[in-house]
Amino acid sequence: MTDAARDLISKAMVDAGDPVEFAAYAPSNIALSKYWGKRDRSRNLPLNSSLSISLAEWGSHTEVAPSESGIDQVSLNGEVLDMGTAFASKALKFADLFRAGRAQPLKITTRNTIPTAAGLASSASGFAALTRALCGSFSLSLSEAEMSLIARLGSGSATRSIWHGFVRWDKGRAEDGSDSFATPLDVTWPDFRIAIIPVDVGPKSHSSRDGMNHTVDTSPLFAAWPDQAEADCDFIEAMVREQNFTALGQRAEANALAMHATMQAARPAITYLTQDSWAILERLWAARKNGLEAYATMDAGANVKLIFEAQSQDDVTTLFPEAQVIVPFAG
Which residues of this protein are in contact with ligand ADP, per CB under 6 A?
60, 62, 86-87, 90-91, 110, 112, 116-123, 126-127, 130, 207-208, 300-301
Residue 319: what residue type? L
Q: With binding defined as CB under 6 A, does residue 35 bind ligand DP6?
A: yes
Q: Which stretch binds ligand DP6 (CB under 6 A): 9-17, 31-39, 171-179, 303-311?
A: 31-39
Q: Which stretch binds ligand DP6 (CB under 6 A): 29-37, 79-87, 237-245, 308-316?
A: 29-37
Assess contact for 193 and 325: CB atoms under 8 A. yes
Q: Between the CA of residue 118 and those of 10, 143, 228, 245, 301, what are the distances in Å? A: 33, 30, 26, 27, 6
Which of 123, 180, 215, 297 touches ligand DP6 (CB under 6 A)?
123
Instruction: Please confirm whether the linkage preceding 220 is cis (ω < 30° from 0).
Output: no
Q: How far is the CB of 196 from ligand DP6 (least distance, A)?
A: 14
Q: How far is the CB of 256 from ligand DP6 (least distance, A)?
A: 8
Separation of first and last alpha carbons in the chain: 43
SS3 call for 12: helix
Number of residues that bind ligand DP6 (CB under 6 A): 15
The C-alpha atoms of residue 128 and residue 30 are separated, in whole angstroms, by: 14
Q: With binding defined as CB under 6 A, does residue 111 bind ligand DP6?
A: no
Q: Residue 111 or 209: which CB sits closer to ligand DP6? A: 209
Site for ligand DP6 in 37-56 (CB under 6 A): 44, 50
Burial zone of 313 (CB within 10 Å; 0-12 exposed, 13-18 middle, 19+ buried): middle
Pick one of ligand ADP, ligand DP6, none as the site partner of residue 60 (Cβ within 5 to 8 A by kind): ligand ADP
Pick one of ligand DP6, ligand ADP, none as the site partner of residue 272 (Cβ within 5 to 8 A by kind): none
Pick one of ligand ADP, ligand DP6, none as the site partner of residue 73 (Cβ within 5 to 8 A by kind): none
Q: Residue 117 or 294: which CB sits closer to ligand ADP? A: 117
The C-alpha atoms of residue 160 and residue 158 are separated, in whole angstroms, by: 5
Which of 115, 126, 136, 156 touches ligand DP6 (CB under 6 A)?
156
Burial zone of 46 (CB within 10 Å; 0-12 exposed, 13-18 middle, 19+ buried): buried
Pick one of ligand ADP, ligand DP6, none as the site partner of residue 117 (Cβ within 5 to 8 A by kind): ligand ADP
Q: Between the CA of residue 183 and those of 56, 74, 176, 222, what are the distances in Å? A: 17, 30, 19, 26
CA atoms within a 13 Å half-sphere pointing along the CA-CB vector of 86: 6
Q: List residues binding ligand DP6 (CB under 6 A).
A: 31, 34-36, 44, 50, 121, 123, 155-157, 208-209, 299-300
